[in-house]
């Protein structure tokens, strides 16, 4: 493909010939032909086969919003001639990233890196990768696509918080959890033996009757649970930045609970997003699920979503408007602790009060950490 410089040279050559030829200037024809020959030579330069091994590597493949993510471009010249004038073009979230590749001698390789945009959450498609080859004068360019697009998962940012441990469960048998400590004494049921189970919990009668080693599954009536509700209505936020902060707040709360191996339910206006039982590594699952959460016009208001939230433990409601505060106050008797977090600029005179509800205004994650109840 002829570049702008190439088309400019073609136009200049035609103009020189059109002006000089009628006046009898032989030099005009020579200049015009020289310009056209230069463009043709550039086309032959780029059309000549180039044996290049090109590979892109995205690292890390999962990154917190705003943290750096880098693409490493590995280019190797497998041909017999030196290659120069290589420019790589990559695309990420509609943003085009251009990077020059240093000249490559015969059988040599170079690695160049460039940053990828991570301001917004989501599953981001990186690519396609296109390598441009131009002639030494930049008159003609040839573009070749290499490889397949890669995926970059931009997840919410988090801040360490104290889990809202809210006392006893109101259910008679407590919360079912395989992470319950061995000292728990409430019997919940039987299950197959798994390597590593305490042999003191083997139920020998059932084992003798079924021929399969069975163990007692216990519950811990003191195991605190947390319900985190994220308001996903479009009208609840003034802009994208406020919603991104709300997702960060919900992720911080849920991850603080799962990292201490306590159960948490994560709800949105579209229903239950996740029910983590307190197992190891579930904070990673929380971040992965929240990475793809978006606002929706079909999202229910918090009051409707809380009807299915159960009772007991702690409730954390995150929204961008105080219109959702009455919904939190209305269910305060169903939970041991209720926290309402409103994201955005602080209001004049401070946040409104609600009986039985801890109200927090968070302009950023630092504000959340400072005001979070301990």
Domain boundaries along the sequence of the chain: 4-47, 52-155, 181-220, 226-371
- pTM for the model stands at 0.74
**pLDDT at residue 181, as a whole number:** 45
CA 16 from chain centre, in angstroms, equals 56
CA pair distance 38, 140, nearest whole angstrom: 10
**pLDDT at residue 241, as a whole number:** 94
Q: How would you label 199-232 residue by residue, b for 16+ Cβ within 10 Å and e otherwise?
A: eeeebeeeeeeeeeebbbbbbbbebbbbbbbbbb
The answer to whether 225 and 313 have CB atoms below 8 angstroms apart is yes
**pLDDT at residue 186, as a whole number:** 57
- The separation between the first and the last C-alpha atoms of the chain, rounded to the nearest angstrom, is 64
Q: Indicate the CATH number for domain 226-371.
A: 3.40.50.410
Q: Among all chains, which residue has been given the structure tokens 């926290």?
A: 339
**Ordered per-residue pLDDT tens for the chain, 374 residues:** 787 787 887 888 888 878 877 877 777 887 878 888 787 876 776 776 568 899 999 999 999 999 999 999 999 998 888 888 788 889 888 888 889 888 899 889 999 999 999 989 999 899 888 887 777 677 877 778 887 889 999 999 999 999 886 554 444 444 444 444 444 455 667 888 888 888 888 888 988 998 989 888 765 555 678 999 999 999 999 999 999 999 999 999 999 999 988 899 999 999 999 999 877 789 999 999 999 999 999 999 999 999 888 888 899 999 999 999 999 999 999 998 999 999 999 888 888 989 999 999 999 999 999 999 88
Edge-to-edge strand ranges of the sheet holding 214-220: 175-176, 214-220, 186-192
Q: Pull the structure tokens for residue 233.
A: 């209505």
**pLDDT at residue 61, as a whole number:** 95
The answer to whether 318 and 228 have CB atoms below 8 angstroms apart is yes
CA pair distance 247, 159, nearest whole angstrom: 12
The answer to whether 65 and 47 have CB atoms below 8 angstroms apart is no
CA pair distance 59, 68, nearest whole angstrom: 9
Helix, strand, coil content of the chain in percent (nearest 5)? 30, 30, 40
Q: Among all chains, which residue has been given the structure tokens 């939190």?
A: 328
Superfamily of domain 52-155: Immunoglobulins (2.60.40.10)
Helix axes 26-47, 4-20, angle to 10 degrees: 160
Q: Is residue 60 reached through a cis peptide bond, with omega within 30 degrees of 0 on the bond before it? A: yes
Whether 226-371 and 52-155 are alike in CATH topology: the answer is no
**Residues with Cβ within 8 Å of residue 7, at least 6 apart in sequence:** none
CA pair distance 322, 31, nearest whole angstrom: 74
**pLDDT at residue 180, as a whole number:** 46
What is each CA distance from 321 to 120, 161, 271, 357, in whole angstroms? 21, 22, 20, 15
């Amino acid at each position: 493909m002829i570049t702008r410089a190439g088309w400019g040279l073609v136009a200049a050559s035609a103009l020189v010939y059109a002006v000089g030829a009628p006046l009898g200037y032989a030099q005009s024809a020579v200049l015009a032909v020289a310009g056209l020959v230069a463009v043709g030579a550039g086309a032959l330069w780029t059309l000549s086969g180039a044996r290049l091994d090109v590979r892109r590597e995205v690292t890390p493949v999962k990154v917190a919003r705003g943290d750096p993510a880098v693409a490493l471009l590995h280019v190797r010249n497998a041909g017999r001639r030196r290659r120069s004038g290589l420019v790589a073009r990559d695309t990420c979230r509609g943003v085009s990233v251009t990077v020059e590749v240093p000249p490559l001698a015969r059988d040599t390789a170079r690695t160049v890196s460039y940053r990828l945009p991570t301001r917004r959450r989501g599953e981001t498609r990186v690519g396609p990768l296109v390598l441009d080859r131009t002639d030494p004068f930049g008159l003609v360019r040839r573009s070749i696509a290499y490889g397949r697009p890669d995926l970059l998962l931009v997840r919410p940012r988090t801040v360490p918080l104290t889990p809202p441990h809210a006392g006893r469960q109101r259910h008679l048998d407590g919360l079912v959890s395989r992470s319950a400590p061995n000292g728990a004494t409430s019997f919940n049921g039987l299950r197959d033996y798994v390597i590593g189970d305490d042999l003191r919990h083997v139920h020998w009668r059932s084992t003798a009757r079924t021929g399969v080693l069975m163990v007692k599954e216990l519950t811990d009536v003191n195991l605190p649970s947390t319900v985190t509700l994220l308001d996903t209505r479009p009208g609840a936020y003034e802009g994208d930045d406020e919603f991104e902060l709300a997702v960060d707040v919900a992720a911080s709360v849920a991850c603080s609970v799962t990292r201490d191996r306590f159960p948490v339910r994560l709800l949105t206006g579209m229903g239950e997003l996740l029910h983590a039982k307190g197992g190891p590594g579930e904070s990673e699952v929380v971040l992965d699920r929240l990475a793809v959460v978006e606002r929706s016009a079909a999202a229910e208001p918090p009051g409707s979503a809380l009807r299915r939230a159960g009772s007991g433990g702690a409730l954390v409601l995150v929204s961008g408007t105080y219109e959702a505060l009455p919904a939190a106050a209305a269910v305060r008797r169903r939970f041991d602790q209720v926290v309402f977090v409103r994201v955005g600029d602080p209001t004049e005179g401070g946040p409104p009060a609600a009986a039985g509800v801890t109200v927090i205004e968070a302009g950023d994650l630092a504000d959340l950490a400072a005001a979070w109840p301990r």
